[in-house]
Amino acid sequence: MGKKIKVGLLFGGKSAEHEVSVQSAKNIYTAIDKNKYDVILIGIDKQGRWQLEDAEKFLLHANSPKLIKLEKAQSTLALVPGEKAKQLVKVPDQRSIGPVDVVFPVLHGTFGEDGTMQGLLKLANIPFVGAGVLGSAVGMDKDVMKRLLRDAGIPIPEFLVFRQHEKTAIKFAKIEKQLRLPCYVKPANLGSSVGIHRVTSEQQLNLAVDDAFQYDSKILIEQGIEGREIECSVLGNENPIASVPGEVVTDKTRHSFYSYTAKYIDENGAQLLIPAKLPSETSRKIQQLAIASFKAINCEGMARVDFFLKYDRHIFVNELNTIPGFTKISMYPKLWEASGISYSELINRLIQLALDRFQNEQRLKTSVEI
């Protein structure tokens, strides 16, 4: 056996998706090949503190999506950047726990999936799994993402964008005329359906706008597409591949759409059909659009691409998730399992893609000979 690769599994964070991240980390740690990888668990609490986690007991209420949270750690961590350092150091005694070879950030939402963590890791010269700074930032901002997709000729639902100071300009009659009902109100920079509301009336619109602005200073109001919800996983760097598509069927008697509760809290909130029952031509088109969307926003490593499929078979791209969920019910790993790549092998490929990209970047010049 060769030397194990030391992987820093980074999870938690200050985002409203903190609990989802913790669930994802739990599953990745369980599935990763311990014969090949030495895993360092790095939890980030809701105040942004990094802490070293005990692999035997790093979660409280680990089996409860509602209550799951980090144990209170005995020591916090600092990252020491540098060409040869890449050290994690305990605070306050400054004892090094050694360098990490690669970081696997499983941080959903802001301060983790939006380019901020990717920028820190890039400055620290540490390879990391997933999209780089640009792809992460674009993937997080639904407004910028959709404009890039639209510019690339990829079909998307119509949408309007409003910032906090433009709140008084949001008029129900205008929204109804321009987008039709139902429509959806969304924070621009958040995932897991946090702060998203389905709107069919003026009262609902006002409440939805107030709630969405609690999570972001920029919101989208988007045309509702009546049809099926299809998801497709993408894996790769320069030559990405797409999984078989899957379908999310929400129990409409319990939830009006695929909300946060339907995804992570209510075990009977939605059904995942993998693979989706689609004509082969439609499946191929969805896979092609998934890869085209992945490339359009400069994504790398991984992404889950979410679609709306109208009953007349018109396809719309809803959004991309550059750090998709890895919980036990998450579509990203399940779609790859259905495509012939096991959970453990998927993790292995993602880490290798991160190391390959890092090696390619090291060949670039960082100085000019005069």
In CATH, the number for domain 5-128 is 3.40.50.20
3-class secondary structure, 39 = strand
Cβ pair 115, 136 in contact under 8 A: yes
pLDDT at 150: 97
According to CATH, the topology of domain 139-153+227-360 is D-amino Acid Aminotransferase; Chain A, domain 1 (3.30.470)
Question: Per-residue pLDDT for the chain (370 aa), expressed as one digit of tens each?
Answer: 578 999 999 998 888 788 888 889 989 999 999 999 999 888 888 888 888 876 655 554 455 555 455 666 656 777 776 655 556 777 666 677 778 899 999 998 888 999 999 999 998 889 999 999 999 999 999 999 999 999 999 999 999 999 999 999 999 999 999 999 999 999 998 765 778 999 999 999 999 999 999 989 999 999 999 899 999 999 999 999 999 999 999 776 554 555 555 555 556 667 899 999 999 999 999 999 999 999 999 999 999 999 999 998 999 999 999 999 998 778 999 999 999 999 999 999 999 999 999 999 988 887 787 7
pLDDT at 61: 45
Q: How far apart are alpha carbons 68 and 327 in whole angstroms?
A: 12
Q: How far apart are alpha carbons 92 and 89 in whole angstroms?
A: 9
Smallest CA-to-CA distance from 300 within 119, 140, 132, 145 is with 132
Cβ pair 6, 40 in contact under 8 A: yes
Smallest CA-to-CA distance from 112 within 306, 297, 323, 299 is with 323
Overall CATH class of domain 159-223: alpha beta
Query: What six digits make up the tokens of 60?
Result: 């409280």
Strands (E), the chain: 5-12, 37-44, 50-52, 59-60, 69-70, 76-80, 87-91, 96-99, 102-105, 159-163, 183-187, 197-199, 218-223, 227-236, 241-242, 246-250, 270-273, 301-310, 315-321
Could you state, in order of their start, the residue ranges of all structural domains in the chain?
A: 5-128, 139-153+227-360, 159-223
Label the pairing between strands 5-12 and 102-105.
parallel
- Is pTM beyond 0.85 here? yes
Q: Which residues pair with 37 in a beta bridge?
A: 5
pLDDT at 17: 81
pLDDT at 72: 65
